[in-house]
Amino acid sequence: MIRRFVSGSAIASLVIACAALAVLVTPGLGAQRFYPVAFVWCFAPLAWGLWAAFAPGKWVPDRLPVWGAVLGLMGGVLVMFGLNVPSRVLGAVVPVIWRAAGVAVAAVGYYFLWMLVRLAYRSLDKPAPMSETPVSAKAA
């Protein structure tokens, strides 16, 4: 279960770091407008880690992307409709159809990102390679 948590939170942290860097280097986007996004991002690694840890046992690791898409659907609905982040960030009313499209994009995007979680989980499952000669033999 800890391996699931680590793989989910590690990928979420990397994605958030890349997204934050993109926001910082994009001209015209002030940090003040992105405070709702930053607030949500603070909880994303924890949410992803817990979501991975509580994934159905039969779904790990093969169906982790589907499990992640479900999280993307839930997160997209919360961000687009519950918190209304697009309107807060853009400063204008965003039509419902565009927010619904954002939810669909979030679900699909999460599916692909959770392929990385599956890869991280499998990588953590492999034992570290052992050298052919013992350490004590090398010292002699």
Q: pLDDT tens, 6-22?
A: 999 999 999 999 988 88
Lowest mean pLDDT among 13-27, 49-63, 106-120, 125-139: 125-139
Q: Are 111 and 11 in contact (CB under 8 A)?
A: no
**Spatial CA neighbour of 41 closest among 12, 80, 21:** 12
pLDDT given for residue 118 in this prediction: 94
pLDDT band at 101 (very low <50, low <70, confident <90, very high): very high
pLDDT given for residue 137 in this prediction: 52
95-118 b/e (C-beta count within 10 Å ≥ 16 → b) = eeeebeebbeebbeebbebbebbb
pLDDT given for residue 54 in this prediction: 92
CA quadruple 75, 76, 77, 78: dihedral sign: positive
pLDDT given for residue 92 in this prediction: 82
Share of the chain above pLDDT 90, in %: 49
* Domain boundaries, given as residue ranges, for the chain: 2-126
pLDDT band at 102 (very low <50, low <70, confident <90, very high): very high
pLDDT given for residue 71 in this prediction: 93
Share of the chain above pLDDT 70, in %: 86
